[in-house]
Amino acid sequence: SAVISQKPSRDICQRGTSLTIQCQVDSQVTMMFWYRQQPGQSLTLIATANQGSEATYESGFVIDKFPISRPNLTFSTLTVSNMSPEDSSIYLCSVEVGVSEAFFGQGTRLTVV
Amino acid sequence: GENVEQHPSTLSVQEGDSAVIKCTYSDSASNYFPWYKQELGKRPQLIIDIRSNVGEKKDQRIAVTLNKTAKHFSLHITETQPEDSAVYFCAASRRDDKIIFGKGTRLHILP
């Protein structure tokens, strides 16, 4: 298993500003994932973050808007840049342990005003 | 890429009855099929999973079946209880690859 600490747990931000979300894992993992979840909706994958290489973004998500860092095997950050109200959502980091079992952080509830 | 369809989007069952949620996937190379339960305001948590080399797996009141030929898999919850009320997500992935989630099923257990 894996224990994931994600912060902040929630934030209210002004439009046009940026927020960086941090994700710390208690063990070394190869891949970390960032998801977005609108209230009552499914989990949409934003990008996959591998240590030592550029993140791989899914269709509809770009690096300029969601820059990701992965400085080591236990830590990653996701930045939501130049925020607008449409970015209000829950953002979750995830890691896969063993053969694909995913564990999630507790999520960051972002409100953009 | 992989596409996972999940039905129904909402399901209400009487306490004590069974609930069934069905999913289909598109990528024949997918070989891992987990199910996640998400309670209100909490993170998704794995409740059961199945790999492509088996057709069925059971854990107490929860079971999952997989039909690789038809590319569909199902979650079965028997003797439902109030604490089973939650949103359930099916998912599919290849080994060491990203997990793609279905849109979720909101399960209501009626008293």
Residues B95 and B20: their CA atoms lie apart, in Å, by 26
pLDDT for position A30? 85
Please check the confidence at residue B72 and state whether its pLDDT lies above 90. Answer: yes
Contact across the interface for B34 and A102, Cβ inside 8 Å:
yes
Residues B99 and B111: their CA atoms lie apart, in Å, by 34
Q: What is the mean pLDDT of residues A86-111?
A: 90
pLDDT tens, residue by residue, B25-36: 999 999 999 999
Q: What is the mean pLDDT of residues A72-94?
A: 96
Of B45, B98, B102, the CB nearest to A48: B98
Q: Which two tokens stand for residue A19?
A: 């927020």
Residue B58 near residue A62 (C-beta atoms within 8 A) = no
Task: Show residues of chain B in contact with A105, CB under 8 Å.
Answer: 43
Sign of the CA dihedral with B80 first, then B45, B88, and A106 last:
positive
Contact across the interface for B101 and A42, Cβ inside 8 Å:
yes
Residues A42 and A45: their CA atoms lie apart, in Å, by 10
Q: Which two tokens stand for residue A96?
A: 């896969």
Of A33, A103, A104, the CB nearest to B98: A33
pLDDT tens, residue by residue, A7-17: 999 999 999 99
pLDDT for position A43? 93
pLDDT for position B54? 84
pLDDT band at A99 (very low <50, low <70, confident <90, very high): low
Please check the confidence at residue A18 and state whether its pLDDT lies above 90. Answer: yes
Residues in A lying within 8 Å of B, measured between beta carbons: 30-31, 33, 40-43, 45, 48, 92, 94, 96, 99-107
pLDDT for position A97? 77
Which of A7-11, A22-26, B31-35, B94-98 shows the lowest per-residue confidence on average (mean pLDDT)? B94-98
pLDDT for position A101? 80
pLDDT tens, residue by residue, B34-60: 999 999 989 999 999 999 888 999 999
pLDDT tens, residue by residue, A28-78: 988 899 999 998 889 999 999 988 788 999 999 999 999 999 999 999 999
pLDDT tens, residue by residue, B2-18: 899 999 999 999 999 99
